[in-house]
Each structure stands twice: as C-alpha cells, then as structure tokens.
C-alpha cells in the first residue's frame, strides 16, 4: 500500500512538471522572419504573435552585406520597440514583445523593405 501511494505521488509530480513545461514553452514561442538569399524582403512581411512571444529575424541573404532595420518613425512611442538592428549575412536577432500593438519596421538601406509584427 505504501508503495502504491508513493507511485501515485510520483505520477502526480510528473504530470505537474509536464504541465509547467508546456506553459513555459507556450509563453516563450519563437516565430521566425527570414530574409531570403537575394531577396530584399522580410518573410513573412506580417506576423501575428501573442504578448510574451519572440520574433527571431534570420538573415539568409548573401547578396547584401547587411540589412539594417528599425521601428518606423511616426509610429506610437509605445510601439517603437525596435531600435536600429544591424543584421549582417548569416546573423540572427531576437526580440520578445511584451505589449500588444502593431510594430511596423523597415530596412533603411533597401527601399520598400518593410514588415509588421502584430502583437495580440
Ligand atoms: Cu535591407
């Protein structure tokens, strides 16, 4: 009987650990935005995430030395989360968005290279 209760406790502990692990994984979700090789474009250009999640920009472009981007001037002050980010070929950058809003950003080297993160 003692062994049986010990087994039940052990299983309860395990299920708690699994639940906590899932909650952490959901909160820390990472969404990729890729700059493809030879294309001056954020892919996807518009991405929707939940507050507390992370966007990871990956520069796969070998044709340009760098894509440098920042929040669009004129957007609401609270939406200017992205300071100037210099992303050289092969580099990655991550940012966790804590507040809901629409974060428009642009590459100031390549005209028309623009993206948006929608945080719900
Ligand atoms: Cu660019």
Domains and CATH numbers, the chain: 30-119 (2.60.40.420)
pLDDT at 77 over 90: no
The percent of residues in the chain predicted with pLDDT above 70, rounded, is 78
Number of H helices, E strands in the chain: 1, 8
Tokens of 31: 């969404």
The closest alpha carbon to 68, from 87, 81, 89, 55, belongs to 87
Q: Cα(55) to centroid of ligand 1, in Å?
A: 17
CA of 28 to the centre of ligand 1 (A): 27
Query: How far apart are the CA of 102 and the centre of ligand 1, in A?
Result: 20
Q: What is the mean pLDDT of the chain?
A: 84
pLDDT at 80: 82
With residues binned 3-state (H G I as helix, E B as strand, rest as coil), the percentages for the chain, rounded to 5, are 25, 40, 40
Q: Return the C-alpha torsion angle 102, 107, 112, 116, nearest 10.
A: -20
Compute, in angstroms, the gap from residue 63 CA to the centroid of ligand 1: 11
Residue 95: half-sphere exposure toward Cβ, Cα within 13 Å: 18
Q: Output the CA 66–ligand 1 centroid distance in Å.
A: 7
Residue 99 DSSP symbol: S
pTM, full prediction: 0.75
Question: What is the average per-residue pLDDT within 43-63?
Answer: 97
Q: What spacing in Å lies between the alpha carbon of 117 and ligand 1's midpoint?
A: 17
Two tokens at 21? Answer: 């692990």
Answer whether residue 99 shows pLDDT above 50.
yes
Q: How far is ligand 1, taken at its centre, from the CA of residue 114, in Å?
A: 9
Q: Once rounded to an integer, what is the mean pLDDT over residues 102-119? A: 95
pLDDT band at residue 6, thresholds of 50, 70 and 90? low
In this predicted model, which residue has the larger pLDDT, 33 or 76? 33
């Amino acid at each position: 009987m003692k062994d049986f209760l010990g087994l039940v406790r052990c299983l309860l502990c395990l299920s708690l650990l699994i639940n906590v692990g899932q909650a952490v994984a959901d909160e820390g979700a990472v969404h990729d935005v890729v700059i493809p090789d030879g294309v001056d474009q954020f892919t996807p250009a518009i991405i929707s995430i939940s507050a507390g999640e992370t966007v990871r920009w990956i520069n796969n472009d070998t044709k340009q030395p760098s894509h440098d981007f920042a929040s669009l001037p004129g957007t609401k002050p609270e939406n200017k989360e992205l300071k100037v980010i210099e992303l050289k070929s092969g580099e990655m950058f991550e940012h966790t968005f804590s507040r809901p809003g629409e974060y428009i950003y642009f590459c100031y080297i390549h005209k028309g290279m623009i993206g948006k993160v929608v945080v719900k």
